[in-house]
Amino acid sequence: MTTTEQVRDTGWNQRYGEEGEEPTAASDVVRLQLAHRSVRRFLPDEVSEPELRALVAAAQSAPTSSNLQPWSVVAVRDPERRRRLSTLAARQSFVAEAPLLLVWVADLGRARRLAESRGSSVDAADYLETALIGFIDVALAAQNAVVAAESLGLGSCYVGAIRNNPEEVAAELGLPPHAVAAFGLAVGRPDPSEHAGVKPRLPQQAVLHHEQYDAARADAHLAAYDERLADYNERYGLGGAWTDRVLARLAGPQSMAGRHRLREALEGLGLPVR
């Protein structure tokens, strides 16, 4: 079987459906990425220290704006701390059950401490652009770690609910001023008994534009995607069309699980965004 055929078998058709055209370019990395799924059930096996170091090395190999490297990561293995963080993150049980929780931190504290030690100023750290760099760079780093983890036979699931209670999470992790937990990542060896698959994504025609954005052409593909995702959800005991879920998730402050006050929390933790 060619690499292209393997991509179709393990990920391409599951992402885009039988009607999707097979990719004309493929590699082992592309195959790994196409087969990605979130893992919420783990075997009890520990993630070893060499594996953790490999994940962090992969993360540090991601691009970073102006080589600022404005992020850090906290590896949490202690079961009680994972349990407390699970409670803060919408009581999601897999956060407590994963053998390793990585909490990724947008960290402008390092630059501020450097400025203080040099008697210098970093007034640009108070601006939205710099905060965005911190969050963008930590996301790039974490996604590198996800791909690396899967290449080592590990699975993972992002935990955005870490932002539900940013002050409490910062206290639990002992974060210094000017550092905010952006999200968590539960990591471990996937339990093969977990009933989950590769979730379909929007067709490429809905997200890929050429030269200029064509909203009408892109949005014409949403109804067909609703049908495909509904079929997937039914197989795994889930409900709701994609369009309904998007509208419900973005309905208003009441749908944000406390994150509507994130600007206030960022300012309180030392990341003003003027």
What is the residue extent of each domain of the chain? 49-194
Count of CA atoms in the C-beta half-sphere (13 A) of 150: 20
What are 48-97's pLDDT values in tens digits?
A: 999 999 999 999 999 999 999 999 999 999 999 999 999 999 999 999 99
Q: Are 170 and 269 in contact (CB under 8 A)?
A: yes
Measured CA to CA, the distance from residue 135 to residue 118 in angstroms comes to 25
**Beta-ladder partners of 4:** none
**Beta-ladder partners of 101:** 76, 186
Cβ-in-10-Å burial (0-12, 13-18, 19+) of 200 comes to: buried
| Residue that is written with structure tokens 């997937």 in the block | 232
Q: Are 103 and 73 in contact (CB under 8 A)?
A: yes
Specify the pTM.
0.94
Taking only the tens of pLDDT, the chain with its 274 residues reads 454 454 456 688 888 886 556 677 778 899 899 999 999 999 999 999 999 999 999 999 999 999 999 999 999 999 999 999 999 999 999 999 999 999 999 999 999 999 999 999 999 999 999 999 999 999 999 999 999 999 999 999 999 999 999 999 999 999 999 999 999 999 999 999 998 889 999 999 999 999 999 999 999 999 999 999 999 999 888 888 899 999 999 999 999 999 999 999 999 999 998 8
Measured CA to CA, the distance from residue 63 to residue 185 in angstroms comes to 19
Q: Which CATH architecture has domain 49-194?
A: 3-Layer(aba) Sandwich (3.40)
| Integer CA distances (angstroms), 253 to 36, 208, 249, 250, 262, in order | 31, 30, 10, 8, 11
Q: Which amino acid does the sequence have at 25?
A: A
DSSP letters for 96-158? HHSSEEEEEEEE-HHHHHHHHHHT---GGGGSHHHHHHHHHHHHHHHHHHHHHHHHTT-EEEE
Across the beta sheet with 100-107, what order do the strands follow?
71-76, 100-107, 179-188, 155-159
Cβ-in-10-Å burial (0-12, 13-18, 19+) of 195 comes to: exposed
For 55, phi then psi, to 5°, come to -65, -40
Count of Cβ atoms closer than 10 Å to residue 214 Cβ: 12
Tokens encoding 77:
């293995």
Q: Which of 195, 192, 154, 200 is nearest to 12 (CA)?
A: 200
